[in-house]
Amino acid sequence: MQYWNATCECMSRDEMADLQSKRLIETVKRVYQNVPSYREKMQQKGVEPGDIKSIEDLKKLPFVYKQDLRDNYPYGMFAAPMSEIVRIHASSGTTGKQTVVGYTQKDLDTWSEIMARTLVNAGANKNSFIQVAYGYGLFTGGLGTHYGAERIGASVIPVSVGNTKRQIQIMKDFGTTIIACTPSYALYLAEEMEAQGISKDDLKLEAGVFGAEPWSENMRKEIEERLGIIAIDIYGLSEVMGPGVASECQCKCGLHIQEDHFIPEIIDPETEEVLPPGSTGELVFTTITKEGLPLIRYRTRDISSLTYEKCECGRTLVRMSKVTGRTDDMLIIRGVNVFPSQIESVLLEFSDIAPHYQLIVDRVGRLDVLEIWVEMNQKMFSDQVRKLEDVERKITKEIESTLGISAKVKLVEPKSIERSEGKAKRVIDKRKI
């Protein structure tokens, strides 16, 4: 099976533009009617739904930011009545508040459809055994992949994250042909297999769909060699839909964006001007079929570029380059999005003034580790070691419950964290990806 949906994936550019225009007009009308904050934003910019006649008019519309979702926490940006919402997911926010997304049944169908396309891109069919090692729960990775795999009619193995030994045993015993996880976890699996004396020839693994964190071509080569598979990069974010917004095909030359559902733009993050095809800038998405949480010109903060040339695979869908960075300070640690400000707000609970801190991210073996250095201050200090260790433990626990990742907290002396122009350097990322 080469395509899941040839009609949509290989549509001519003109047909695609017509379809997108039609859907955009509908979406703008809906959000203007149903979401007060969109209506206000548009009124402030002097734009009315009637001004949007085709995708050429997209640039007239105001941007939407993660902050808007936070300001309207939890459901304020939903464009469908809650009675129509059948699923809620959430991702960690920057100040403790989560970003909440809601899906109608139609949204879930769309999500399954685009995730089916994604898995077919990696070579899946109804005979595949797809092991989902993304987290199940509020995180969109697990369930998103799951529904896509079911849509194809493949056999889904919903292992979720963790328990590497069991993952490997299941891969071997259940005859997994496709694995879905983060790329760093794929390498970790390879290492653990070697340690256990299990060869890639003992497995039936053919492909992997890897996402939720940035990775390099070198990493791809290593994964492909060590696991004996084809490794496909997938992209998604919960605000827009979840995994499946874009994915590579077997040509591995850019990620096809499911354009009949999402219109991408590349903008200059400073001037906010739309940049011509091929330029590198911030990726912006407009969803044109979503009902629960439609987003108009959502600023992803991911840096990428777009190419509209037809791909060798026959798909006409626009391709985005691998994400090369962020326009903000967000870190991705073991697939979890982490903003330094989240850590700061946790630390504030332990001290009147925000202590100076530094995040040190490294990759030990194949897994990301986060160390948080916190400068000691008079308020936190005690002559009793027990109390200081207690502070470390409490911070660690609080970070884990707020961000969902484990970190090692280390108390350091005042002024020991490097400062530049009086400002402490917040993040040291030692990972070589």
Partner 1 sequence: MLVKQISVFLENKSGRLAEVTKILGSHDIDISALSIADTTDFGVLRLIVNKPEQAEKVLIENGFTVSCTSVIAIAVPDEPGGLASALEVLKNGSVGIEYMYAFVGKSSTHALVILRVEEPEKAIKLLEEMKIKVLSAEEVYNL
Q: Which residues bind partner 1 (CB under 8 A)?
A: 376-378, 381-385, 388-389, 410-416
Identify which of residues 86 and 388 has a Cβ nearer to partner 1 in the complex. Answer: 388
Whole-number minimum distance, CB 430 to partner 1, in Å? 18
Whole-number minimum distance, CB 219 to partner 1, in Å? 32
Identify which of residues 423 and 432 has a Cβ nearer to partner 1 in the complex. Answer: 423
Identify which of residues 271 and 378 has a Cβ nearer to partner 1 in the complex. Answer: 378
Indicate the SS3 state at residue 224.
helix
Whole-number minimum distance, CB 382 to partner 1, in Å? 7
Identify which of residues 157 and 391 has a Cβ nearer to partner 1 in the complex. Answer: 391
CA distances from 50 to 15, 26, 27, 43 (A): 22, 11, 12, 12
Please give the Cα distance from 100 to 90 (Å, whole number).
Answer: 4
Whole-number minimum distance, CB 423 to partner 1, in Å? 18
Whole-number minimum distance, CB 201 to partner 1, in Å? 43
Identify which of residues 59 and 410 has a Cβ nearer to partner 1 in the complex. Answer: 410
CA distances from 430 to 173, 220, 327, 368 (A): 37, 19, 19, 10
Alpha carbons within 13 angstroms on the beta-carbon side of residue 202 total 13
Please give the Cα distance from 17 to 25 (Å, whole number).
Answer: 12
Identify which of residues 83 and 384 has a Cβ nearer to partner 1 in the complex. Answer: 384
Q: Beta 242-248 vs 207-210: how paired, if at all? A: unpaired
Whole-number minimum distance, CB 415 to partner 1, in Å? 5
Identify which of residues 141 and 355 has a Cβ nearer to partner 1 in the complex. Answer: 355
- Report the candidate in 41, 100, 106 with the shortest Cα–Cα distance to residue 75: 100
Residues 373, 124: contact at Cβ < 8 Å? no
Whole-number minimum distance, CB 366 to partner 1, in Å? 25
* Cα Rg of the chain (Å, integer): 23
Please give the Cα distance from 24 to 2 (Å, whole number).
Answer: 29
Q: DSSP readout, 128-189?
A: -EEEE-SPPSSSHHHHHHHHHHHHHTPEEE---S--HHHHHHHHHHHT--EEEE-HHHHHHH
